[in-house]
Structure formats: structure tokens, C-alpha cells
Amino acid sequence: MTSTPTTSAASAAGDSLGREAWRRLRQNKAAMTSLWLLGAITLACVAGPWLTPWGLADVDWNAFGVAPTLDGGHWLGTDANGRDLLTRTLHGGRVSLSVAVVATLVSLVIGVLYGAVAGYLGGRVDNLMMRFVDILYSLPFMFLVILLMVVFGRNILLIYAAIGAVEWLDMARIVRGQTLALKRREFIEAAHALGVRDRKIVTRHLIPNAIGPVIVYVTLTVPKVILLESFLSFLGLGVQEPLTSWGVLISEGTDMMQTAPWMLLVPSVFLALTLFCLNFLGDGLRDALDPKTR
């Protein structure tokens, strides 16, 4: 089947908009620096633990609470139990970043579908669906997450689901607003006239055209999720041994802040750099995808 001129033109326009957004993003030095630094941190967390000579639970019986040094084999020092802090920080980054990515994907799927359906159907259905969102907004979500941890146990998969399930509300509102604006456009009316089913209109026309603000919001949701997981781990409700995360390491570091400050500084620096990179990248994507600044 050959492509129609309209389809080809739309595809070409989409490609040109994508190239233009990438060109504008590359001109943003802060966003590109953040992108490269975030990629380096992610690569280090993924591959680093295999490159260090120490395992996650390996104990150096001659180095309990040793400060960072280039001579003793522990570049970032050890914790109070003689475990290599660099190795534990990289392993903790794996957990923190994976929780952030999976929980954000959960909130993305729920929020995008919910908001698109509410905005497309409109009327009483939209009012009912958004009143449900308002009710959920009024609930103390931190309390709900902590309650889930206490009732069902501190399973890492439950942390993914629990955090993702409480972060989709803003996503739903953003997509609903975009859908309300898009469904009055000519290409949606043309789809209706051609007899396209509502499900295809939502999934193939509305959601793809609302993806710009969603991408920006995703880059802002990931740091929120990382902070939420770190806070839960700081309270002792996050991941458990033998796993660790940046929040767990920061919690352990606060207990040794006076005698071994590097135990607090090392994971805190990794966490802060990741959060700054994600926020700068989100700002860059917002500017690159904003049609008003083209």
C-alpha cells in the first residue's frame, strides 16, 4: 500500500519538528552537559560494580571506616563495616535509578491513558473522572505509600508500583488539557468523518500529538521519584539488605557524619548531581519543544 500525500506530509512534518527540537536542545549548553553527565552516571552505575575489585558485601578487615585514598584500593573510602563505598554507591545508583525509571513508566502509562480518555470523552464522564482525581489529590500519599510498605512488606517491586501509582495524577491533568485542545482540531474531525474508531483516535492521534509536554514532565517526575524513594529508604521503609540505594547510604552516612563525613558526602553528591542533571535536561526539553519559541 502506498502512502497518501497527507500521511507523507504529516510524517515529514513530524521528522522536521523532531530535528528542529534536537537542534535547539543541542544549542542549550546546560541541557547537553546534563545529558552527557547523566549518561556517564548511569553508565557508571550499570557497569561500574563489575569493574571495581570489591563486591557489594565484601569486607576489608583492614579498612574499617577508612577515608578516601588512592593508595589503599578504596578510592572513595569504606563504611563503618569495611565495605567499599564506591562499589556500594554504584550499586545503590542501580536501585535508585531503576526505581525512578520503572515507577515513572507506571505513572506515565496510567496518567496518559486516564487523561486522554477523560479529555476525549468530555462531559459528565470527564467531570466524574476528574473529581476522582481531585479526591485522590486530597489524600496524604506519603502516608498511603508508607502504609503499603508496612502492610505488604518492603518488596522492591511493591516500591515500584506504589510510587508509580501515586505519581500519575499530574500526568493525567496535563494530558487531559492537551486532549481538550487537540480534539477540536481539523485532523480529529477528519478522523471522525472517515469513521475511525474512538480507541484509534485516542491512541494514534491524540496521545502522539500530546507527547511533547509529557516528555518534559517525565524528566521532572524522575527526580521526584528518586527523592521519594530516597526518603522512604532514609526512614527505613525502602530497600533492604543485601540491596542498597542512595537513600539507604545517606541514612547510614548521617549516623557517621561527625567521624566519617565521606559516608554522607559520596552518595549525596551522586544523588544531587543526578537531580540537577534531570532538572536542567527538563528545562532544555521544555524550551526545545515549545512551539512559541520557534
Task: Write down the pLDDT at residue 68.
Answer: 84
Indicate the residue type of 2: T
Indicate the residue type of 284: G
What is the domain partition of the chain in residue ranges? 32-48+99-293
Rounded to two decimals, the pTM is 0.76
Q: What whole-number distance in Å separates Cα of residue 213 and Cα of residue 174? A: 8
Query: Sorting pLDDT into bands at 50, 70 and 90, what band is 197?
Result: confident
pLDDT (mean) for 105-123:
87
Task: Write down the pLDDT at residue 128.
Answer: 92
Closest CA to 212 of 129, 93, 293: 293
pLDDT (mean) for 3-12:
43
For residue range 144-167, list pLDDT tens digits in order: 777 776 776 667 777 777 777 778
Closest CA to 213 of 184, 180, 178: 178
Task: Write down the pLDDT at residue 290.
Answer: 62
Task: Write down the pLDDT at residue 149.
Answer: 67
Residue identified by cell 563505598 is 85
pLDDT at residue 11 is higher than 50: no
Are the C-beta atoms of residues 246 and 270 closer than 8 Å to each other?
Answer: yes
Q: What whole-number distance in Å separates Cα of residue 137 and Cα of residue 147? A: 17
C-alpha cell at 181: 485542545
For residue range 161-194, list pLDDT tens digits in order: 777 777 888 888 888 888 888 887 887 778 778 7
Element (H, E) at 271: helix 262-289
Surface-to-core class of residue 287, CB atoms within 10 Å of its CB (0-12 exposed, 13-18 middle, 19+ buried): middle
For 51, how many CA atoms within 13 A lie in the half-sphere containing its CB?
8
Q: What are phi and psi of 84, to 5 degrees?
A: -65, 125
Domain covering 32-48+99-293, topology = MetI-like fold (1.10.3720)
Distances in Å between the Cα of 176 and the Cα atoms of 102, 136, 160 are 23, 16, 24
- Residue 18, Cα to own-chain centre: how many angstroms? 22
The helix/strand/coil state of 32 is: helix
